[in-house]
Structures are given as structure tokens and as C-alpha cells.
Amino acid sequence: MEDFKIQTQKLNAWFGNNHALKDISLGIRQNQVTAIIGPSGCGKSTLIRCLNRMHELVPGARSSGSVLLDGANIYSRGIDPVTVRRRVGMVFQKANPFPTMSVYDNVAAGLKLNGVRNPDTLDEAVKRSLEQAFLWDEVRDDLDNSGASLSGGQQQRLCIARALAVEPEAILMDEPCSALDPIATAKIEQLITNLKEKYTVVIVTHNMQQAARVSDVTAFLYLGQLIEYGGTTSLFENPKEELTERYLTGKFG
Amino acid sequence: MRRFQDKLAYGLGALCVGVAIVPLASILFEVVRNGVSALSPQFLTSPPGVFGQAGGGIANAIQGTAILLALASAMAVPFGLLSGVYLAEFGDNKCGRTVRFLNDVLTEFPSIVIGILVYSIIVLAMRGFSTIAGAVALAIIMLPIITRTTEESIKIVPSSIRDAAMALGIRRWRATISVVLSTARSGVITGILLAIARVSGETAPLLLTVLGSQFFFNGLNQPIAALPLTIYRDANLPYAFARQQGWGAALVLILMVLGLNIGVRLATRGRYNSLRSRV
Amino acid sequence: MTRTVEEKNSSARTRSLIRPFERLRHFSTDDFFEVFSTLFAAIVVVILALTAVVLTRGSIPALDTYGISFVFGSDWSAVAGREVYGALPYILGTLVTSTIAMGVGVPVSLGIAIFLAEMAPGSVRNPLSQLIEILAAVPSVIYGFWGLFVFRFWIVDLIEKPLSRDFGTIAVFQGTPFGLDILTAGLILAIMIIPTVSSISKEVMMAVPSSQREAAYSIGATRWEVVRIGVLNYSRSGIFGAAILGLGRAVGETMAVTMVIGNAIGPAAFPGSLFQSGQTLSSLIANEFGEANPGSLLLSSLIGLGLILFAFALIINVFAQLMVWKVLRVKGRVE
């Protein structure tokens, strides 16, 4: 039996009457990058938002089934979603640094708001996170500048650093590069590859080539259902399902 | 013919705009023209002189207005902020809608009725007119304005900011106060400044609660002077110098009010149109 | 890349500061915050309720003493022993001045709203709108001061004297015009409600979907006709609501009215001619409050006037909010 870091079991999700995810069961292994691909509207974003209980923040949204984090169901009754979100971090499609805070404060925000006050601890955490996000060298002298003063690619790396600062165990990325130019994208892809040594990464992407470059395992979703799931190389070179093959060869998407 | 009607409509519309602008221009012109001659260092720094004689100034009125505004803000801002947060965060249910509706009703309320309310409760209980009563009355007038502008400023903050904070594993209330409110802060401050500007010219409630005074601030439980009260009283005195003082006081008041208003408009150019037109 | 000892210690420190899975307390700080902020928000309800209670209790002595003739009586005398107070002249005064304010102010506001919303180019619309909004920022007491020393002479010279000369026999124009009268008060109120009514009407009109305008243009209508057919119909209830809001403001306005209305008392305050001094509910309260001793019948009567004013204002404002709300909430209030 394999130990998955995160495992979904018959996960279903709705937006009102719209059945967005249907019986998704898959396991995400530790220290690997798992990509979720599929055409627009297939439920990719909904799926990862269920993994850190962000889905339920949308009015009218609900879900059923379970999501296990280290074997414990994060949806069980006694569990506080806030602690789930500390252990499973998220980076969004459009970089959203807190506009009224400096670079330093942005990275430290998660820690400060969780009660960490010691300036040395905060300094270390900020430096460590920015280094892991490949941003330290670019901002080390300008930590007090506003978070919004950075370029698009830098802002997204800032958001990654912010998510890393609270020391999550897994990081969910919802199309993190879709708003960025190729150079910024390449930087982030490189840092994702680095991140998997310490973290478990799940990345949603509509860019198949990106999934092929960056991930170890890929899941293909279509209309809310999990169509195929397996090692990236074998899924791309030898897809088992016809639907997967048609998507990969661009017959729809 | 239809072309003519069209042009006529345009002309009438422009005329209406003119009808509105002319009084504004006249008020500003007259206040400046008549008030400037009253302005002097002495006028601004000394209290009124002997009643019935020329000389003296409005220093106590300026101080009084400042103190009243500070006290009123200290009371209204916390309530207004939290109410605004409540409406923005939790206000989509029946209870929230009722509160919002009543809040809008209170905004347009005759200020003299609020004066009667505070008179009946505070002035009668304290057996006298007082600074604190006036501050409470002004605070009641400021409150719904601040509530509404706070709510609207928070609603403008994009949901991605809130999502980012929640995704960091922060409690919702913490995310709201530390992140969302801080992002909304320029709108919130705008609202507070506009509320101050609105309330600095209020006279009726002060007539019923602070009475006015010839002296400087004397204690929270004592009457106090205020600019609008000075203007009102000067209007009713038969002396020419009193009228001049009135213009001078009006000039100071209008500089303050318009300064705040125009300053706020310039600083938030275009961003908060719906807020400003409602105050 | 292996982590250095430093890094491991640092992250262990951070992690240990953030506790893992906690059991959900049955009552979390988020719930507390919701209750807490609800209580604060409820203060508005408390204020309105308190006002109703206080006004009612305060007017009971007067209502007890005079009964229904408080509302319909017109004498007003504070002579001890023979005190009698009746509100009718002031109710009428409020109604008349507000009617004048609406009669003059609403059409002008509509004209402004149409001009700014539909006809003016964008470069002109914004500065003019701002200018008119500044009109709203001028304090009422300054309106009154200006009204007393400037505006009233305009009205006397431009309107009252000619009317008195040519139509002086008609009841409404009787009396020697000297400016401190119902007409001047009504006109100042008109000016004061223009910013509110025009800006809300403008917003309502601008919220009309462009498809309505396009439909009118496509059948070859001129600009004015587009407004008439495509916009005004659609915005009717919103504009009506704006007008009612203006009425609410006119009814509640105190200082500017007090300073130019002439302060008549008792039967003399019955609005008969436009050039006659008058009195409104709010102006009388402002004038007489200083004279009223706590516990006196005068005070109670003044509070009774306040109660009537409160009732008027409440009904008008609630009605107006309902109308404006319906229109603007549907279209989205925040731009």
C-alpha cells in the first residue's frame, strides 16, 4: 500500500446545482509534483480548492467525499479549516500580494497573523522563503518597497514566498504562470522543481507542455471526472484513454 | 422642428446647471468678499469681546468646533467602522439588510430631531448644556455615513486578496481586519473625512445641546462655542460689526469644509464616486 | 540540495509556533467576531428606537393637555397660566415651503441630471458634477447667512417687487415684500435639495442599459427624444425616489429656513401669502428651544412638534429609500 500525502476518496463538489466534480479518487505522493490538466471548465481549479478547503468559501458551494491529509480526513467534523490551510498552502492564478504591505510584510503576513512576533524569527523566515522562491537576490535591498511595485513575475514569486513562509507541507498552485511571460514562467517552473524536495506540489495548468516539463505525475480531468492518472512521461507518450489522447493531440481543448 | 426641440432641451439643461451654479458662486464670492476683511490675527486668536461692542474674535469657536469634532469622531469611528465591516462581511442576510436600510434612513434624518434626542437624554440628565452632549449628537449624525462608506470600501477590495489571506490559514476575522480593511483604508479614511466635513457645519443639534459660549473650553460638562453657532448668533444681532464677524466665521468654516471636501476629491480622483455623492 | 542545520532549526522553530490540527472549538473567534460586530451595527436600530421613545414620552404632557387640538390648533402662547400650543401653522409651513422647494428644485434637478447624464460630453460632465456636489457640502447655516444678507434681496428685487406690483391683489402675492418670507425659504430649500436630487437622478439615468438608448437611436430619434423615450420612462421610479429624498431633506432642514423665513408665531404663521413671514416645524423648534424650561408645557409641545417632524421624516425617508434602493440595488450601487 502506498502512502499518499494527500488522497481524495470519491470527492464530489457542487456550485449550487452545478455538479463540478464527480467521484474523484486519486492519491498525491509526497515530494512529487502532480499536475492536473484538462480543458477549461473541467473542474481543475475546483479540485485543488477542495484540497485546502477553499472551495467552501464560495457561497452556494458544497462537497462530499473525503480528502485525507496524512491519513486524516480534513473534512471530518472536528477539523478546523484554518489549520488545514496552514498545512496546505495555495498560490493563485493572478498574483495577489497584499497591496498596502511591503515585500517583507507580505512574506511575513502569514506568520504575524498567526501570532509569531519575534523579529529574528520573522527575519529568518522571510529570508528563507524568498530564497526558496528565487526572489531573495532581487529584493534583498528593497524589502520595504510595496509588494505591488514588483513586476508580474516577481509578484507571483512573492506570493509563493508568502505561502512558503508558514512552512506548509503541501503547496497548491492554480495556473500560477498563466498571466506571465515565458521568461518569468521559466523561473517559476525551475523553482517548482526545486520545491519538491521539501514540499508536495500540486499544480493546475492548461499548458500541457508545462505539465510535461515540470511534473512527475499527471491527472487528466474532463467535465468533472478523472479520466486518466499516471506518471507524466507515460501518460504523455502512451495515454491509455482515447479522450486523453485526443486532448493531448489538440483535438479539443 | 425636432432639431429645434433637441437644441432647446440642451439649452434648458444647461440653463438648469447654471441655476445651480449661480448660488454656489455667489455664496463663495460673498463669503470671501465680506469675510476676508474680518480676518485678522486678532480675529482668529481672541474670544468674543464685550457683548455689543466691536472687537474680539472667534478663537473659542474654532477651538470649540475642533474639540467637538474630535470627540464626535472618537465615538463615531469605532462604531461606524465595525458596523461597516459587519455589513460588508455578514450583511447579506435579513438582519443585515434591515440594518443597512435603517442606516440609510438615519443618514437623511433631520438633525434637529437628533438634537431633541440628545437633549432629552443627556442634557436633561446632566441638568445643563454640555460639550459631551454636543459631541454625542454629532457622533450620531456621523455614524451612518462612516458605516456606509466603510462597507462600500470593503466591498471594492477584490476577493483575490481575501482568498490569499484565507489560504495562508488565517482566521476570517483576522483576515478581514488586518488585510481587507487595510487594503480598503483610503476609502475608509475618505468616508471619515467626509463625515467630519458634513458635521462641522451642523448647527441645529448644537443649539439644543451645547448652547454656545463666550469662552474657551471649560470642561466636558459645560457649554462650548462652535463656529456654526457663532455664525447663527451673529446673523441675529443688529450690529454691523456682528454681521462682519459672521462673514469672517463663515469664511473660516467654509474654508474648512470645502478644504476637506475638495482635498478628498483630489486625493481619490475618480475612485469612489458612489461614496461621495451619497454623503 | 540538503538543508543546512540552520535551515532545519529555523523551520522547526516556525513550525513549532504554529500548532498542528486543533480540535474545532464549538464557538470560534470568528463567531465571536460576528456577534460582536452585529451588536455594534445594531446601534443604528437602537438610536432610531430610542428617538421614537424619547419623542413620544416627551410629548405626552402636551398631547394629554391639548389632545387633538395640539395638531389642529393654531394658537401659540407661552403666557403662564394661559398656555396654549397648536402645531397646525407650522405643519402647513413645512408643507408649503417643501412644496415650493420641490416645485422649483425637482424640475431644475431633472434638467441638470438629463443634461449631465445624456447630453454633456464626458470632459464637461465630471467637473460640473463635482461642482454641484460641492453645493451639497456648504453648511446649512451658511446658506442661511447668505440667504439673509444676499439672496433675499435678489428675490425681493427680481421676483417679489414685480409680482407685488402687478399681481398684488391676488391672495398669494399680498403683503409688502421684504424678503423674509415663505417664498425665500422655499427657494433656498430648492437650491439645497438640487445636489441630492440631481445626483441620484443622474445615477439612475446612467444605470439605464445602453440597449434602451440604442433602440431609440436606431429608429432615428434625436438626442432629446432618446432621453424622453429610452431613458426617462425606464428611470421613472428611481427619479421619483430621488425627488422624495429631496422632500425628506427639505422637510428636515432647519437653519437656512430659520434665518430667512421671518419667524412668525401662532395664527400669524398661517401660510397665506408667499410674501408673508412663516414658520416651519423645524424652525420653530430651533427658535423656541432656548426659552423652554425643563418640565414645562412649552418644552413638551416643542418635543411634540419634533415628534410630528420625526413621523414625517421617517415616512418620507423610508418611502424614498425603498424606491431608490429598488432601482439602484438592482443595477449595482458600487461603480
Q: Dihedral of the CA atoms B203, B204, B206, B211 (nearest 10)?
A: 110
**Residue B151 has what pLDDT?**
92
List, in order of start, the domains of chain B with CATH numbers: 37-276 (1.10.3720.10)
User: Rounded mean pLDDT of B21-41?
Assistant: 91
Who among A94, A101, A163 is closest to B160 (CB)? Answer: A94
Choice among A61-75, A119-133, C19-33 with the minimum mean pLDDT: C19-33
User: Rounded mean pLDDT of A65-88?
Assistant: 89
Give the A window 190-219 contacts with B, CB below 8 Å: none
CA distances from C53 to A213, B26, C319 (A): 73, 42, 21
Who among A57, A100, A113 is closest to B170 (CB)? Answer: A113
**Residue B94 has what pLDDT?**
86
Contacts of B203 (CB under 8 A, 6+ apart): B226, B228, B229, B231, B232, C139, C140, C141, C254, C255
Q: How close B21 gets to chain C, by Cα (Å)?
A: 7
**Rounded Cα–Cα distance for residues B193 and A179 (Å):** 38
Nearest to B277 by CA among C197, A223, A104: C197
Chain A residue whose CA is closest to C12? A167
Q: Are the CB atoms for A69 and B178 separated by under 8 Å?
A: no
Q: Do B169 and A90 touch (CB under 8 A)?
A: no
State the pTM of this model: 0.84
Task: Find how far residue A186's CA is from the centre of its chain.
Answer: 17
Q: How close B182 gets to chain A, by Cα (Å)?
A: 7
Q: Do C17 and A87 touch (CB under 8 A)?
A: no
Is the pLDDT confidence value at A25 over 90?
A: yes
pLDDT, one tens digit per residue, over B87-123 is 998 888 888 888 998 998 898 899 999 999 999 999 8
Q: Regarding beta strands A18-28 and A33-37, do their DSSP bridges make them parallel or antiparallel, or are they unpaired?
A: unpaired
**Residue C331 has what pLDDT?**
46
**Residue C123 has what pLDDT?**
83
Chain C residue whose CA is closest to B101? C321
| Most confident by average pLDDT, A172-181, B40-49, B235-244, C206-215 | A172-181
**Residue C45 has what pLDDT?**
92
Contacts of B160 in chain A (CB under 8 A): 92, 94, 96
User: Which chains lie within 8 Å of chain C at 3 or more CB pairs, if any?
Assistant: A, B
**Residue C23 has what pLDDT?**
45
Question: What CATH superfamily classification does A6-248 receive?
Answer: P-loop containing nucleotide triphosphate hydrolases (3.40.50.300)
CB pairs under 8 A between A and C: 47
Contacts of B18 (CB under 8 A, 6+ apart): none
Nearest to B167 by CA among A205, A164, A33, A34: A164
| Domain limits, chain A | 6-248
Where residue A77 falls among pLDDT bands split at 50, 70, 90? Answer: confident
Q: Are the CB atoms for C253 and B203 separated by under 8 Å?
A: no
Q: Are the CB atoms for C60 and C304 separated by under 8 Å?
A: no
Q: Which residues pair with A69 in a beta bridge?
A: A6, A72
CA distances from C69 to C263, C268, C288 (A): 22, 17, 20
User: Rounded mean pLDDT of B143-157?
Assistant: 92
What residue has cell string 432618446?
C226
**Rounded Cα–Cα distance for residues A110 and A92 (Å):** 16
Contacts of C137 in chain B (CB under 8 A): 197-198, 257-258, 261
Who among B99, B105, B273 is closest to C321 (CB)? Answer: B105
Contacts of B89 in chain C (CB under 8 A): 34, 37
Instruction: Please tell me the total number of residues recorded for chain A in this structure.
Output: 253
User: Rounded mean pLDDT of B61-86?
Assistant: 94
Is the pLDDT confidence value at A118 over 50?
A: yes
Chain B residue whose CA is closest to A82? B169
| Domain limits, chain C | 59-331
Where residue C10 falls among pLDDT bands split at 50, 70, 90? Answer: low
Contacts of C205 in chain B (CB under 8 A): none
Q: Does A121 touch chain C (CB under 8 A)?
A: yes
In degrees, rounded to 5, the angle at the alpha carbon of residue B121 between the alpha carbons of residues B120 and B127 is 80
**Rounded Cα–Cα distance for residues B190 and B196 (Å):** 10
Enter the CATH code of domain C59-331. Answer: 1.10.3720.10
Nearest to A226 by CA among A237, A235, A216, A234: A235
Task: Find how far residue A145's CA is from the centre of its chain.
Answer: 26
Q: How close C31 gets to chain A, by Cα (Å)?
A: 13
Is the pLDDT confidence value at C2 over 70?
A: no
Residues of A139-162 as b/e, b for ≥16 C-beta within 10 angstroms? beeebeebbbebeebbbbbbbbbb
Alpha helices by DSSP H, listed for chain C, are: 5-17, 29-41, 43-66, 69-72, 88-114, 122-137, 140-146, 152-155, 161-167, 182-206, 210-218, 223-225, 236-252, 255-260, 281-288, 297-331
Structure letter (DSSP) for residue C150: I
Choice among A32-41, B250-259, C206-215 with the minimum mean pLDDT: C206-215
Chain A residue whose CA is closest to B172? A82
User: Rounded mean pLDDT of C121-139?
Assistant: 86
**Residue C171 has what pLDDT?**
75
**Residue B273 has what pLDDT?**
52
What ipTM did this prediction achieve? 0.90
Choice among A73-82, A97-106, B228-237, C222-231 with the minimum mean pLDDT: C222-231
Is the pLDDT confidence value at C13 over 60?
A: no
pLDDT, one tens digit per residue, over B166-205 is 898 888 888 888 888 888 888 899 899 999 999 999 999 9
Chain B residue whose CA is closest to A96? B161
